[in-house]
Chain A
Amino acid sequence: MQSDENCPVMRSYKRKEQILRVYDYLQFKQEYTYDNLAENVDTFFEICECAVIATGVHLREECFRLEMGNILGPGVEIHPWLIGIYSDIISLSKVQKRRLREVPLRSEELLADDNDYNDYDDDLSEKHLKERMNSIMSDFKKILWIYPNVYKQIASCVKSLLVVSCDCLIFANKHTEYDCLAKFLHLMFPKQNLKPYFCMDTYENLISVARIYNRNIWKKKLIMLKKSGQNYAHINNNMSILKKSERFLKYMVHLIRPSEFNKLDNHLNNHRFASELFWKSPEEYAIFAEEIQKSIISSKLRTCGSCEKDLSMLGFDNNNYNNNNKDNAIDDDDESIKFWDIGKNDRFSQCPNEVIEEIFCKMDESELFKMKQVSRKMRHFSESRMRKMSKRLEVTEITGVYSIFKQDSVFHNINEVVFKPKQLFNGYFIEKFKFFRITPNTVFKLIESQLINVKKLKFYFAEFKCFELDLSVFQKLVNVTSMTIYEFSPEKIHRNFFSFFENLTELSIIKSIVSIELVLGESLRRLKLRESQVLEKITLKNAMQLKSLKIETSDINNEDFFNNYNGKLEEMQEFTFKSKRNIYFPISFLRNMKQLKKFILFVENLNTENLPEIASVENVELNINAFEDAKISRLVKCFPNARKITLYWNVGSIKHQNLLNVLLTFKNLAELHVICNVITFFGKKILLDIANSVHTCKKLRISTIVLTEKDFDEILENFEATFASCSKEIEMRLEIEYFEFIGDISYFEYDEAKISVKKIKRNRDYFSTRRVNIDLCTEDFEESDDDAREILKRAKCEI
């Protein structure tokens, strides 16, 4: 007769009983969970018929334990019967914790209470917490390589539990959330060593991944990598275990050979920032590991001569980046001149180095790449030049840690960092976009040595889970002078975020919403606020020194801003206020701006009482929708020394005598531009009158929507008459802009000495009151930003 120990049925029965006894607590608190558990236990204590364990009959649970042992550290106990109920247990422990928070335990009691649970630690220093996290996560090292997503979930959860200190009275001493939950789990289910960090479906995922991995590694035929130095040719065909990643249902499991784990670990730990990343951002740490794995695969494939290279993450074309590239100058088929050896004896290469360097200085990146392939010497010069070039680092939603690390080592002069997603959905009308994979903090940490060179920072449509920068990063970003924020609404941003950048002189906040008060630094000279509801939240540390302020707003809560800074912006040279709605704008705001040179105002209506005279203004652009002769003339009168005036004629009013009288008194007026939105005759009549009257102008520009041959003749006739009546011998220029020309387009030829006539075709938007919006979008992107411009073009078409 078999003893109890050897009989699997008896063994199973005893174990089942033991386990269910431990979870008795569940029976009273959550009966349905207990029922599930009981079912699970039954399943796992059946006899298994697999051939993994050769020593006789075994239970499924034993088989499972063996599988888990292969990928997890010895300290982690995974109980298969907890599948589907683990998250219930965790949430139950949280509920119990809330109920029992009034019961204090002292640490001595805690330790005396149960020797099994002795993880409790009251040292909350960062170093110590980091060590704790390290020791916890060391159990899941293999998971990092097999299925980084699970690792990511576990690590984030561990960190979030470790960094939060708990203020409950359960432990009398200082403790973390982790200890608290672990203790509760232990009190509820003694001797089970349940871990509080398996949140949501992590537990199930972990088990699934482990099973997939084990079944494929151990139970299927293994394809072993031959040792280095031997033939690798078969790798391409057979797929190495290292390379092989397979999708099993929803899991993309990397089937890594057991002996490779150590190599991968070493590779990862060799990177200086890996440990820091592990603590600061476990998710990015997992991303980094994944990228390293990919890069190792691609380098292995390169070694064995495969053309397949995963270099896209480095931002290079395959042709352009190849370390093993032989000098291909000699490979050229054209061998008509055999004595010639480019790269050694050609005349260009024989020039002194400084000569070649001078020529290479003119080349841009793509040209340097081409030169790189000409010869070895050219490659040397191209590469050294490329290192010196100022670079713009673009971070997109697909950028990973490794690619930045790689760029950092290739390019040594990053002076601009841009966060901009590649895919904009429906142009700039974004419905949904992905979060960036890595946070700005990590990006800056990775290029830490180059931060001192960074002068420009741009965040386009950037959405991060967290937007916090370390003090050390701020300290190194001292040379940032320009920052643009576009469609960026950071949830967590420090009040003094912008003032930390000591040398920030230019700031643009566009279409962004910030919920807290912002303090802008002392060096700020140019500020653009467009469609951003931040005006009332802004505090200027050094308003006196601000030289340019551009406000484009549809926000009505501006009163506080204007009241706070009324008369304070003394050094202002350029002031723009554009609003689309009837928004409060006190013109008296300009009162103390003695240095003001350029003033642009787009408003619905304006109170023109008590206007100040601003003699310094030379360039004025006025677009007042409710246009009245009396009002506009009073307003224009404020700028007696204007050299250039642009007026939008928005209504069909024929009264314009006051304005003409004012303009006639302007001695310095050299350029007048009238944009007429009205197609009626009155509008053109006004234009003609203005053209007739203002004699000091050297350049007149008339913009009208519809232009006919007759109009053109009339304008020209008047212009000539004006010119003839001028006593001075001056050159005059007339520019006529139109959207639609009625008549023969070739009719437009005109050539006479001293008068030059230029016709410019404009699009319909140019004349529209919506011009404000259109300007807004096009100006927001840099000229070099071709992608964005293309997208905007498309978006405009859609409008």
Chain B
Amino acid sequence: MSAIKFETSDGFTIQVERETAVVSKVVKNFLEYHPTDKCTFHLNCVDNATLRKVVEWMRHHKDDAYIETESDESDEERSQDVSIEMDPWDANFLNEDLFFLLDILNAANFMKIKVLFKNCCKKIYLMSKGKSSVEIKRLLKERCDFTDEDLQRIANKYEWMARVN
């Protein structure tokens, strides 16, 4: 059985069976024009954790008939598709924090996995639904964006507190 390798931005390599990998339109198109048993895709903007999550989704949906990777929607079609209904498995699968969801969303966009992309959008939309603008701002702030250096600097600054305790 042929396998496809994905190399992540943080240097990991994940091997995925061919029928799972072709859920991605990028892979499918490539393999159509360059039939080969072994090849490696470099995913510069997808890290290891995200890719594992995406692959898990691809495995689950590899046999689904509705996973069609073709056709780009026009602006008008996209406007009409406002339903937020989702497969229960997907809804559960995507129960992650906003930032991980954004990673998955970007990965799905990069790898052209339309259904996952749409589902992530729905999930993110549901997160913001019913929230005020202030709450949305807080939601976007949730994750700490300090670099290690910043954290170290703060730790040094408040070191005396640790000593007092």
Contacts and interface: CB of A to CB of B under 8 A. Distances in A.
B102 A367 contact: no
Interface in B28-83: 75, 78-79, 81-82
A389 B79 contact: yes
Interface in A335-374: 337, 339-340, 342, 345-348, 351-352, 354-355, 357-359, 361-363, 367, 370-374
Contacts of B145: 337, 339-340, 345
A374 B137 contact: yes
Contact of B128 (A334, A345, A367): A367
B124 A359 contact: yes
B125 A363 contact: yes
B140 A362 contact: no
A362 B122 CA distance: 7
A785 interface: no
Contacts of B102: 347-348, 351
Nearest to A372: B133
B118 A358 contact: yes
Given A355-B121, A371-B136, A374-B136, A337 B109 contact: no
Nearest to A339: B145
B143 A347 contact: yes
A347 B144 CA distance: 11
Given A355-B109, A362-B82, A388-B75, A371 B141 contact: no
A388 B79 contact: yes
A377 to B, nearest CB: 11
A665 B91 CA distance: 49
Contact of B150 (A339, A342, A359, A374): A339
Given A339-B145, A351-B106, A355-B109, A346 B134 contact: no
Contacts of B155: none
Interface residues of B, number: 34
A362 B141 contact: no
A96 to B, nearest CB: 66
B163 interface: no
A332 interface: yes
A332 B134 contact: yes
Given A337-B144, A342-B137, A367 B129 contact: yes
A358 B78 contact: yes
A786 B165 CA distance: 60
Interface in B105-121: 105-106, 109, 117-118, 121
Contacts of B140: 342, 346-348, 374
Nearest to A330: B137
Contacts of A389: 79
A413 to B, nearest CB: 9
A726 interface: no
A373 B125 contact: no
A342 B128 CA distance: 15
B99 interface: yes
A374 B133 CA distance: 6
Contact of A355 (B84, B105, B128, B138): B105
B92 interface: no
Contacts of A361: 78-79, 81-82, 121
B156 interface: no
A334 B136 CA distance: 13
A626 interface: no
Contact of B146 (A339, A354, A359, A390): A339
Nearest to B83: A362
Q: Name the residue in A342, A352, A359, A389 with the highest tally of chain B Cβ atoms < 10 Å from its Cβ.
A: A359
B109 A362 contact: no
A332 B99 CA distance: 21
Nearest to B75: A388
A334 B138 CA distance: 9
A329 interface: yes
B133 A370 contact: yes
Contacts of A347: 98-99, 102, 140, 143
A373 B140 CA distance: 13
Given A339-B146, A358-B117, A371 B128 contact: yes
B132 interface: yes
B141 A337 contact: yes
A358 B106 contact: no
Contacts of A359: 121, 124-125
A648 B70 CA distance: 52
A373 B128 CA distance: 13
Contacts of B124: 359
Nearest to B126: A362
A376 to B, nearest CB: 13
A355 B106 contact: yes
A342 B145 CA distance: 12
Q: Which of B79, B129, B136, B138 has the most CB of A within 10 A?
A: B136
A372 B105 CA distance: 22
Contacts of B84: 362
Contact of B141 (A340, A351, A358): A340
A371 B124 CA distance: 13
Contacts of A352: 106, 109
A352 B105 CA distance: 10
Interface string A77-99: 00000000000000000000000
Nearest to B82: A362
Contact of A370 (B75, B81, B131): B131
B15 to A, nearest CB: 28
B97 to A, nearest CB: 11
Nearest to B143: A347
Nearest to B131: A370
Nearest to A329: B137
A354 B134 CA distance: 24
Contacts of A351: 102, 105-106
Contacts of A334: 138, 141
A329 B117 CA distance: 27
Nearest to A388: B79
Contact of A362 (B106, B125, B131, B133): B125
B81 to A, nearest CB: 7
17 contacts: A337-B144, A337-B146, A339-B150, A347-B102, A352-B109, A354-B109, A357-B78, A358-B78, A358-B118, A361-B82, A362-B122, A363-B128, A370-B136, A371-B128, A372-B133, A374-B133, A389-B79
Interface of A: 329, 332, 334, 337, 339-340, 342, 345-348, 351-352, 354-355, 357-359, 361-363, 367, 370-375, 388-390
Given A340-B145, A347-B99, 18 more contacts: A329-B137, A337-B141, A337-B145, A347-B102, A347-B140, A347-B143, A348-B140, A352-B106, A355-B106, A359-B124, A362-B82, A363-B125, A367-B129, A370-B133, A372-B133, A374-B133, A388-B79, A390-B79
